[in-house]
Every structure is written in structure tokens, then in C-alpha cells.
Structure 1
Amino acid sequence: MVSAFLVPLLLQAVLLLNVQAAPLDIEALRIPKVDPKKILCQLPLLERYLCPDGGLNSLSRITVLGTASGVLDPEGAHRYPVRYAKSNRWALSNLATSWELPNGSNNVSALPLACPQPDVSSSAYSEDCLSMVLYVPPSLTLASQAPVLVWIHGGSFVVGSATATGLDGSKLALATNSIVAVVQYRLGALGFLAPNGNTNLGVKDVINALEFIKKVAPSFGGSSSKVTIAGQSSGATMIRALLAAPSASSLFRSSILQSDPINYGHLRPATNTLLLNKFKEKVGCSSAACQAGLALGDILSAQNYVFNNAALGDNFAPAAGSAQPIRPVIDGSFITTPLDTTASFPSTSKPILVTTVQHEAASMIYGSFPALPEEAFAPICAMTFGDARTETVVGSPYYQPSPSSVVNGQIDARAQLQVVGTDYLWKCSGWTFSRAWVQAGGNAFVGQYVVGASYPGNDRVSICTQPNVICHQDDIQIVFGTVENPSSAQSALISEMQQRYKAFLTNGNPNAGGLATWAPATTSDVHSLRLGGTGEVSAGACDPGFWGSSVEYDYQFYN
């Protein structure tokens, strides 16, 4: 029953909905025509009575930055592409002050162009790329206070976009009853190798994306205080950079790091300088005017040289590593802590999820080498670890040939190299990070995917198409629920992970009714849950006495 004090308001509302506009030159006054019902349906006191559907079925929203227009995504959520910031080349980006579609488009159904990157048609990217796509469940009302999940794509900081395969956030938004925002940011040299010395531009772009979400989330039924940031591979590295940036702390309350190559750590300033100097040498351009006029093709060519030769080839910056040498730098002012074991972690209370997949390094190892004799194991390890670390690795019980490494009666050393690569780049360094996070006061939940869905591109590496082999990126479509024709095991894990994500977004704990208990990590036992299986993952070489102690991670070895 409507309470007495609402009757006058409701009567006025009904009158307003039915009144005919008086003659007025609207265009001359430059006042946009607004449907009164759309405004009234966004008033918490009236939406229940005038708009039983929540007033949100029209796909238009009145936000503090103007009217947002969206479309119905084929998977059921309402989809809103938007430009969240603008920037000049190698300058700090500026937060958007009005709601604008990406790339100056007037087509609300058009998705944003990617940021400039190699091996992509120039028609598919633009420097005007600081955009995101919001996926909003139709059931949300302005009173919902729903959580917000901000997804940061991977791609070694040189490729990727908000529209990459599998990143349609519609099913994930519906399953978790949350707003899903998929964000893109400046990549490669444009985001991380500014000749003028501006560091971490790509990371600061994401800060602006989070500021933008804080402003607009309430207009879509979301809560600006219930933001979780999530990402895979370099997207997870980006999250670790945000965790190390005090200025970002108030913009999110929890984090999900999938397959973060934590072994590398953040770049130190000296290593970043080596990369930057080589980039400037390759573009052959020292003045600001010249740099502003550089063709994107020349920038990408110089960037490719730096990426491919930092720790291989010319090997001018071995501490950068080979997988994602261009990455955030601990500059001391914005990113103030390494968040690795070379220094104490700052005190924290944020909960995190840290996950890897069972065969992280398989696509890299099997895609780089043909079958290898056992005699090749030590020399190839030495290319990465040097002699001292290699001696310890080769002599340990953890990386001896196993029955699965025998092919046609011969040992294939790639099987051992795959386990080493998975352990040191992702799994064990992630466990070390999680133990330190708990030591600093935060909760950490650690897991490993033992069921996955082959991500496009992995099918070029035959081992990644084999049953029970879960390669890097094979967790992405499980989380988003975008697997085509999923098997029963995949469907079960999709349902499980989306239930766990819903719980984590809501209360910082991934445990939900009917699911196996996911125990939080401690400083001595991370309790890594087998995602898609049963029980916990055995420690193996992730024992604290081996990786990070007997064998140093790269961030320890080089720094």
C-alpha cells in the first residue's frame, strides 16, 4: 500500500507524465528532449510504483555524464560501449567529462576499436582507444547496489582489446548479477615507453577507467564501493601494479589475478631505461615534435624490436624477461612497492583470488621447440636461468623425466621444460606472492584450473588440443561462460566458477552453497584448490624451500 506522504508525489508524477509541453523553442535553448518517465523512474521513491520493471528496460540511462545509450547483447545483458578518457600521444589521459561513444562513433551498437598493436589491420585500431564496454543485467534497478567486476585483458602488454575472443561479459554479468566492465588501455610503447619519461601511462589509463566507473555505476544499478578488478596474464600483472599503487587503493575492494607471471616482478627503473633508450634509438627521433608526428607503423616496428630482443637476441635487458618485457615500472612515486619478496609487503586487508592453469607453459614450450632429447634439458634451462640456477633445477627431484615425457620410446625434454616453466613463471611465484599477501594481513584464495577450454590460437600447438591439457588462456572462456558447445565437465566448471565469482564479488569469499570448501591460504599452506577436479594441488617445487629460496625467481636474481 502506498504510504500517505507519497500520494502528493505520485499525483504530481502522473500529471507530469500526461502534461502536454507548452510551446517552447527547445532547440534554440539547446535543452535536450527528455522523457519525463525516464527521470521519474530513476527516483528511488517512485521507481517501485511507476516503473515495476525498474525503469531500466529502455536501454537509456541518465548518468552524471549525460545520457547513455545501449543495445541488447545477443546473450541477454544490456551493452554500453563508452569512451572513458582521452589522451594525446605519450601524455597522461584525461577522464571523460561527458558520455561519448568510442572513436567518435554515433552507432551505439558499434564496439570500440583496439589500441594500436602489431599484426592487426590498421583499420581495426586507433590511438583514440581509451574505451570500455559495460554489460548490465536487465534485472538491476537503481536500488540494486550490485557489485561491479572490471576485467583487464591480457596480451603481454602489446596485444589485446576489450572485444577479444571470449570477453563478451553478458553471460558473466547475468550469472553473477553484477555489472561487468571490460576495459582497454594503451599498449606497448604508447602505454609504457614514452620518450618524454612519462611512466606507467597504461596503468594510469586503468585508474581513469576505475574513476569513470565510480562515477557512472550507480546510474546502472551498481555500487561504486563494491568494485572488484580481475584480469588474466598481463591483465593480472596490471592488477598487481594497481595493488602496488596507493592512489588506486580506494577505487576497488578486491582483486582476481589469473595466470599472472609474477616471477618477473615489476620493472626496475634501470631496466626500464634500457628499454626506453633502445626504443628511442630505433625510432631515431629525439624531439617532441618529431615524436608526435611518428607514424604508428614506425612506433610498432621499434616496439617489436624492443620486445623481441630485450632478453633474447641482442639481450640488452635480460632482467626484463622474454614473455612480457614491456610492463609496469616501480617508479617510486606512483607504484611504490615491488610486491615481491625483495621487500616487505605493505599492510593490506583486501581479499584476492590467485589462480593458474595446469599447463601454463605448454603452448610456449611446445610451440617453440620440436621434440627434444633429454640431453637438451640442461642447456635450454641455462638459456633462462644461467649455470648456477640450472644446476639446482636439473639436480632436483622435481624435474626428472616422467612416464608422460616418453614419446615413441624416447624421452622428450619438452615435458620437463613445460613443468619448469609453469612452476617458476606462474604457479610457484603465485604461491609465494599469496603467502606474502596473507602475511601482510589480506585473505588469499589460491587455485589451479584442471579443466579448461582451448583458447583460439592454442589450437596451433597440438599438445594444447589434447584431453586434460590446460594451456595458458584456457581459463578465460570458462570464467566468461563463452565456451562454444561446452562439454559436461566444462559446463559444470563454468557454473561453479560463476557461482564462486558471484560470492567473491559480494563478500570477498569464493565459497558458495553446494560447492567444495575453498580454504583460504595461510603463510605455510596456500590450499590451492583443483578447479574442475577434487582436492588440493600438491606443492611439489612450490615448497617455500625451493623456488624463491634454493632457486631464485628472476626478480630476486636480477635485483
Structure 2
Amino acid sequence: MVVFSFISALTILASLLLVSPSQASPVRSQSFDSLSPWIALESWFCRLVHATLAYKLCLQEGLSAISVDTPLGAAQGVVDVSGTNRFVVKYASADRWSPSSVATAWELPNGSTNISALPLMCPQPYADDSTFTEDCLSMILYVPTNLHVDGGVPTLMWIHGGSFMVGSATAPGLDGSALALATESIVAVIQYRLGALGFVAPNNQTNLGLKDAVNALEFLKTVIPSFGGDASMITVAGQSSGANMIRALLAVPSAQSLFQSAILQSDPMDYGFLSSSDQVQLQEYFVRNLGCAATDSACLSTLTADTIVNGAGLWQWNSSVYIVPAATQSEPMRVVNDGTFINSTLDSTSTFPAVSKPILLSNVADEGGYAVYGAFPDPMPEAEYVTVVNGSLGDTRYETLMGWQSYAVESTADDDYRPQFQDLVTDWVWRCAVWTFARNWVSKGGTAYVGMYTVGASYPGNSAVSFCTESGVVCHQDDIEIVFGTVSNPSSAQSALITEMQARYKSFLYSGNPNPSDSSYTNWQAAGTSDVNAILLGSSGEAPVGACTPSFWGESVAYDYQVYNI
């Protein structure tokens, strides 16, 4: 799977170009419509550049503050021009490579006294030291100003993606104001420990980043009633590795009472969770590259976060696949099926447990486009296609795949097999694996709604690959700004889909069904045990089944988690 090392590196670099500063602008209390034209223009600009380096240009005087009493103390926040109140808070604390503990008092992140400051990121590769801290377990709450404090309001907790290596609550497009307003809900965007500090450790700790997310849910349960939220109406949602985190939460017995439903956008389900035995090998390899013995606490404590993430952490990222092939080159440090905290693979390698929660699963039409066209900027001739597919999936899977029309070797006008490879990667890593998961979920008692985006908004960084800027192409991550309603200058098609998806999310948050009772939108039919009824999001009809039949991917052609038996 050589192709994914390239995309992973590009994703990290693209994300780092858009790293957030530690300070955000104070925001004013007036409604947007009542502002003077110049202030309105300023406010629009500040929201446009939310969570980018340009955001520091928006620092202003005249902060409008708000305070809410919670069981953990007074929550100090700011009044946003959009009609939401924004609260930034530290939800948990943790020593290095130790499980986190839920906060017992309301506290601003990073020891700040500035209630408008955004949290520093968790340590991640290539980031400037001033932009991150190990004390990073923070969240941003977006609360509509017109919510009543008598409860009954749902909460959406968003977990960012980034291959478990990069990302933050302040990543581009993740301003939750518009989503909170449109869904009449509280939106919480969280951070969790990443990479070498969150998913591999010299002391054999596992799933630290995932346990952070559980503590974020525990924190929300305690505080959201003070903001008008119903603690029994929390939906967890995420994209890419964030969606992988959501799937892991669905496999954590102790977390099941903490949320009612789940939304998974573009989860690369083909990879599966890591096994405990594989994780042991990876941890031993990690310790060898740290330069400290696993039991040498004095040595370990002298290592800086920068040394860990840019030294042993990057080495682990680049080399894990050669130590444990199941690690892959895209998510070598990820969730581990440890048999205790997590007790199910939630895939087809073991008995699928009984389930009951409603879930919403989506992909984008061209998930593999960034990876394929980024790694192969020039046309791919037949010989190269054969070599890459065979090398990535092995002889047995290759032979079967070449019998499927959309992947087959055949003469093409320009001898460019990138379209076939893009379709194959999309089906293999994302689409068909998600459909298999949906069928399993439904067969064990749950309800699943499946969709595929045919309209998107090019996510910052995706323009590095020209294919992702072509008309009608929807690459990985291009659904994020649609859901959050943070598209800059949206087209009519984008605006329509933003309105539709936020209406569907509102319905799902309140009822577990993405079909608003008072709308004319196409009925989104729940998946069955054979036909998943995948609706097209942005156009009419259902997604073509293609190779995502029950008898092809997962049966005739094994997913990676089946090949590696994890």
C-alpha cells in the first residue's frame, strides 16, 4: 500500500499550513444584521479565516463576555456575531503516556486568562512549538444564544480527523457556529492526544487518545444541562480517523451510556483496529527508537514533546508497516482492540455484537482521488497499474479484482489507469468496507443510514492535487465544510446541500432519523442486510452498487483487516 505514504505526508503538510494560533479574536455581541457595513465586513472576514494563521489579524478590543453557572464552576465564554456563544474549556488532564482524568473544575485551556483564546493543539509533526502543548485536552462549545435552559436540546460532539497524527479543534472549517444554529443544538469540537503520545507508549498503554474522547463525553454529561442540553441526547460524529474513533467508541462497553447515536463520515474501515499482539511489536519498536529504556522514567521525562513527535514518532509513522504490515502506511498508530477497554473488532473477523444505536454513515464520491492522483501526477500506463495493484493487494486479490469490469486491465484511449485505480482505492479502503459494516450493523439490531456525497467543497490543501479541483470531483475531506456550513462563497448546489445536510443532521440529532418531518427532501431509507440504500447527497437517486455487493468485497476479495486477521 505504498500509495498511502505519499498522501499521508501531504495531508500532514497541508494541515500544518493551516495551523491555528493560540489566540482568537474577541467577538462582538451585536447581531450580524445590526452591525455597520464596515464592522459587518470585518466580522465576515474574521469568520472566513477562522482557525487559520490570518485569524490573528482579527484581534479586537471590546470583548462581549457571557457567564454560565455549571456544576464545575462559572463557564466564561464570548458572544459570537453569528448568534452563538463560544466557550473554550479544558475537559481533562493527563500525565505523559498515562490515562487522562476528567476535569473537576471549569478551567480555560493552557492556563490562559483570555476567555476568547482558542486552545493550543496537541503535539504533532512539523508544527511550531508555540502552537502546541501536551496539556491539550480541550474542547470548544458552540451554544446558540436562543437556547432555553430548561433542557431538551441535543449535543453533537465532533472528533477531528488527520490519520491520528495531525489536526485540532481549530482546524479549517470546524467553526461549529453555523451547524449549532441550523441544528438548534450544542456543538462540541474536541481535541485528543495524537500519534506517539496518544496511540503508542513505552509503558504499554494503549488507546490513550480514545480514552480522552470518553472523558470528553463524561465532561459533557456533567456540564451541558447548564447550557440547555439534554445529557441523554449526545451524538458523536467525526470524519476519517475521527470517524474511526467514533467506530471505536461504539466498541467500548463503558462508553455506551454516554451517547445515543453516531455519525461516521469517510471512515477508512478497511484497516480495522490493530490487534494487541501487533501493538506489542510496534511499542517495542517505538521504545528502541526513543533512545530511553521503557523503565527509565528519568530519561523519558527529559524528552521534549517535539523530540518525541518529530523523532521517534515520525520514524514510527514511516516504518511501522515494515514491522507490522497490518499497521498500513496511512494509520500506523491507531486504535487497538485490547480485549478489555474495547471488546469487539466491529468488523467481519469476529462475531459482530448485538447493537441498538442508530448510526449515519457517509462517503464521498472520489475518496481515493487525492491519494491516487497525488502519488501519480502523470498518466499511469497499464504496466504500472498492474505492478501497483499487485504490490498493494497481493497476487490472490489482484487476480480476482482484475475480473471486475471497473478495475480490469483493458485498452484505454490514453493508456491512463488512474481512473480505475481511483475507483478501486475508493471501494477498497472506504465505500465497500463501510457498506459491509452497515449490513453487519443492521443484521445485529441497529439502524443505519448510508449516503455518498456527489457535491462537496474543496478542503484546504486538496488543491495541491489538481484532480480534486476538477468540476464534479469530491475528494476525501470535501464533505467537512458542507456539514459545518463553513464554505466560503458557496455555489447554489453547495448552499442547497448545506441546508439539506444540516436539516438532516438536526432531525438525526433529535430523533435518530435523518428525514425531517416537515421537508420535501427525498426519503433517506435505512439500510437493509443486503441493499444498503445509499442515497446520493447532492444529486438524486441512490449510489450504484458496483463492486460493493455482499459477495465481492469482504467475500471474494478480502479487506485488509481480514487478510491480517485483526
Question: Which band: TM-score by shorter chain?
Answer: 0.7 to 0.9
Match of 1:356 among 331, 354, 363: 363
**Which of 381, 384, 392 matches 2:392?**
384
How far apart are 1:284 and its partner, in Å?
A: 1.4
Amino acid corresponding to residue 450 of structure 1 in structure 2: T
1:539 matched to 2:545? The reply is yes
Q: 1:393 aligns with which of 401, 405, 414?
A: 401
Given the alignment of the two structures, is residue 523 of structure 1 paired with residue 529 of structure 2, yes or no?
A: yes
Contact 2:139 2:169 in 1 (8 A): yes
* Partner SS for 2:317: helix
CA contact (8 A) 1:378 1:394 kept: no
* Bigger Cα displacement from structure 2, 447-456 vs 415-424: 415-424
How far off is 1:328 after superposition?
A: 0.5
Please tell me whether residue 309 in structure 1 is matched to residue 319 in structure 2: yes
- Please name the residue that 1:465 is paired with: 469
| Aligned-partner Cα distance in 1 for 2:329–2:538 | 31
Q: How does 1:244-255 map to 2 (within 5 A)?
A: 244-255=251-262
Q: 2:383 aligns with which of 359, 364, 375?
A: 375
Asked whether the 8 Å contact 2:361–2:434 carries over to 1, the reply is: yes
Percent identity, please: 55
Aligned to 2:402, the other structure's residue is in SS state: helix
Give 2:274's match in structure 1, choosing from 267, 275, 280. Answer: 267
Which of 303, 308, 313 aligns to 1:299? It is 308
1:62 aligns with 2:72: no
SS in 1 for 2:103: strand
The letter of the residue matching 1:291 is: L
After superposition, the Cα gap between the structure-2 partners of 1:514 and 1:402, relative to the gap in structure 1 and judged at 3 Å, is farther
Distance (Å, rounded) in 2 between the aligned partners of 1:203 and 1:402: 45
Amino acid of the residue matched to residue 529 of structure 1?
I
The separation in 2 between residues aligned to 1:401 and 1:367, in whole angstroms, is: 22
* Structure 1 residue corresponding to 2:490, chosen from 486, 489, 496: 486
**Any idea what the Cα deviations from partners look like across 1:200-252, whole Å, max 9, x if unmatched?**
00000011100000000000000100000000000000011110010000000
Structure 1 unpaired stretches of 5+: 1-56
Output one character per residue of 1:36-72: Cα deviation in whole Å (capped at 9) or x when no partner.
Answer: xxxxxxxxxxxxxxxxxxxxx9721000000001112
Specify the code of the residue in structure 2 equivalent to 1:253: Q
1:445 partnered with 2:449: yes
What is the alpha-carbon distance in structure 1 between the residues aligned to residue 179 and residue 474 of structure 2? 21
Shift of 1:401: 6.4
1:274 is displaced (CA, Å) by 2.1
Partner of 1:504: 508
d(CA) in 2 for partners of 1:364, 1:308: 16
Q: Supply the distance in 2 between the matched residues of 1:109 and 1:228 (Cα, whole angstroms).
A: 26
Deviation readout 1:114-139 (Å, 9 max, x if unpaired)? 00001211110000000000000001
Residue 290 of structure 1 and its aligned partner are, at CA, apart by 1.3
The letter for the 1-side match of 2:439 is: R
Structure 2 counterparts to residues 67-466 of structure 1, below 5 A: 67-286=74-293, 287-300=296-309, 301-311=311-321, 315-369=322-376, 370-400=378-408, 409-466=413-470
Cα distance in 1, alignment partners of residues 81 and 242 from structure 2:
26
Per the TM alignment, residue 297 of structure 1 is displaced from its structure 2 partner at its CA by 2.4
Alignment correspondent of 1:550: 556
Name the TM-score, length of structure 1 as normaliser. Answer: 0.87
Shift of 1:145: 1.7
Cα distance, 1:76 vs structure 2: 2.6
- Of 291-300 and 434-443, deviating more is 291-300
Secondary structure of residue in 2 paired with 1:59: strand
* Higher mean C-alpha deviation, range 387-396 or range 495-504: 387-396
SS across alignment from 2:508:
helix
Report the alpha carbon displacement of residue 175 of structure 1 after superposing the two structures with TM. Answer: 0.2
Contact 1:401 1:411 in 2 (8 A): no
Equivalent-residue separation in structure 2 for 1:425 and 1:266 (angstroms): 14
Q: Are the equivalent residues in 2 in contact too, given 1:66–1:98 (CA < 8 A)? A: yes
Asked if the contact 2:401–2:408 (Cα under 8 Å) also holds between the matched residues in 1, the reply is no
* AA of the residue aligned to 2:543: V
Cα pair 2:65 2:79 within 8 Å, conserved: no
- Structure-2 residue corresponding to 1:3: none
Q: Note the C-alpha offset of 1:269.
A: 1.0
Residues 441-461 of structure 1: CA deviation (Å, up to 9, x unaligned): 000000000000000000000
Report the Cα distance in structure 2 between the residues aligned to 1:274 and 1:241, rounded to whole angstroms.
21
2-structure distance, mates of 1:455, 1:411: 30
Which structure exhibits the higher relative contact order, with contacts defined as CA atoms closer than 8 Å and separated by 6 or more residues?
2
CA contact (8 A) 2:65 2:78 kept: no
SS in structure 2 of the partner of residue 422 of structure 1: helix
Structure 2 unaligned regions, length at least 5: 1-63
SS of the residue 1:467 aligns to: coil
Q: Which amino acid aligns with 2:302?
A: G
CA deviation after TM superposition for structure 1 residue 141, in Å = 1.4
Deviation track 1:171-207 (CA, whole Å, cap 9, x = no partner) reads: 0000000000000000001011111111100000011
Report the Cα distance in structure 2 between the residues aligned to 1:346 and 1:386, rounded to whole angstroms.
31
The residue identity in structure 2 corresponding to 1:255 is A
Residue number in structure 2 paired with 1:50 = none
